[in-house]
Amino acid sequence: MASPRLGTFCCPTRDAATQLALGFQPRAFHALCLGSGALRLALGLLQLRPGRRPAGPGIASASPATSARVPASVRIVRAATACDLLGCLGIAVRSAVWLGFPSFVDDISAVNNTDVWPAVFCVGSALWIQLLYSACFWWWFCYAVDAYLVIQRSAGQSTILLYHLMTWGLAALLSVEGALMLYYPSMARCERGLEHAIPHYITTYLPLLLVLVGNPILFRKTVTAVASLLKGRQGIYTENERRMGAMIKTRFFKIMLVFIVCWFSNVINESLLFYLEMQPDINSSSLKQVRNAAKTTWFMMGILNPAQGFLLSLAFYGWTGCRLTLPGPSKEIQWDSMTTSATEGAPPSPGGPQEPGEGPAPKKELPGGTHTSDEALSLLSEGSGGSTIEIHIASGSRGGKAPDSLPKVQGTP
């Protein structure tokens, strides 16, 4: 469970709202966090098993020269998955220590304690969890940015370096700044009130709020650009192209649904705890329902936060990402690319059949080329299984020669 309250818990004295959350069935809560974190780690290892289909557009069918260049979107998803797994590892280790060494944990809240290791572990584990989940949020924001840039043909292999700098730089900056504001000049400062803790809470939730607010806007712009790109290929919107756009839209919807399900309880819980902190007496009978809601959402966070990575894998791959056996033969749906459709559907020349020496009439192409738009759509539809499609671009579609076979959309039956 990722919450700024984990950092506040390291203070010798805590505010009443933090004590209410952390003091409510602590062993049951940490057992729940340990179980959900361990389950996420096990499922993550299951997804990384040998023989699983690689995640990426056209990797299964691309040539060795093409597969050597992994698209930025695939790298982003891999980096976000790694951050999520390492964050779950931090949750599992912290909860295991809380359950296995209660005397060690009790020394954290001891005033004037000479043993610094309990406080070091508390602060270190809280920073570990915050840093990795913040980086995970920044990576998913970069995924939305990259999806929009790809469809606008403004992304390239060099942009992944900018994503790395932005993700790790901002995540480290915000995490360290929030910790310094909370603990500087000493951990005893935590007892001075709520004002100094607010920057710590802001730096924790800023990346999450950016994903919840900014990603839907970028996804909507991307879906609109995809529809315009598909319509502009032939001037019409075919059924297969409409289906492709619907699949891309469904993927973006699933991603945002996972974030809302897994993290909105954090926003609700933090709002309730802040409301309780501003009350003169949080134990009054009039606030009983608020206290119960805060405790309920606190436990929900322990379950839903570690489940984010697994649910996102379902959004990308469906249940095929969890099968212990390889998926069966896939069905192929014919999809008309612009090059093939223009060749087959072009009306006959008014001058009659062409002479053998004459080449085919030049085709009107969009700026950037047909192959570029095919690659852009392929990047947005990477993955496998029931939730996504994979476009296979025929090698002959680059030039004026018609391809030997139509590009295919591959999916799992």
Model confidence at 269: pLDDT above 50:
yes
Least confidently predicted of 274-283, 323-332, 367-376, 385-394: 385-394
Token digits of residue 160: 């992944």
Q: Are 141 and 100 in contact (CB under 8 A)?
A: no
Using DSSP's 3-state secondary structure scheme, residue 367 falls into: coil
Model confidence at 361: pLDDT above 50:
no
Using CB atoms within 10 A of its CB, is residue 284 exposed (0-12), middle (13-18) or buried (19+)? exposed
In the prediction, which pLDDT does 158 show? 62
Using DSSP's 3-state secondary structure scheme, residue 360 falls into: coil
Least confidently predicted of 148-152, 310-314, 352-356: 352-356
In the prediction, which pLDDT does 232 show? 67
Model confidence at 112: pLDDT above 80:
no
pTM beyond cutoff 0.85: no
In the prediction, which pLDDT does 239 show? 77
Residue 112 Rama label (left phi>0; alpha psi -120 to 50; beta): left
Model confidence at 389: pLDDT above 50:
no
More confident residue, 43 or 260: 260
In the prediction, which pLDDT does 208 show? 92
Q: Are 110 and 176 in contact (CB under 8 A)?
A: no
In the prediction, which pLDDT does 246 show? 85
CA distances from 345 to 8, 276, 336, 394 (A): 67, 68, 11, 19
- For the stretch 63-106, pLDDT in tens is 444 444 677 888 898 999 999 999 999 999 999 998 998 888 77
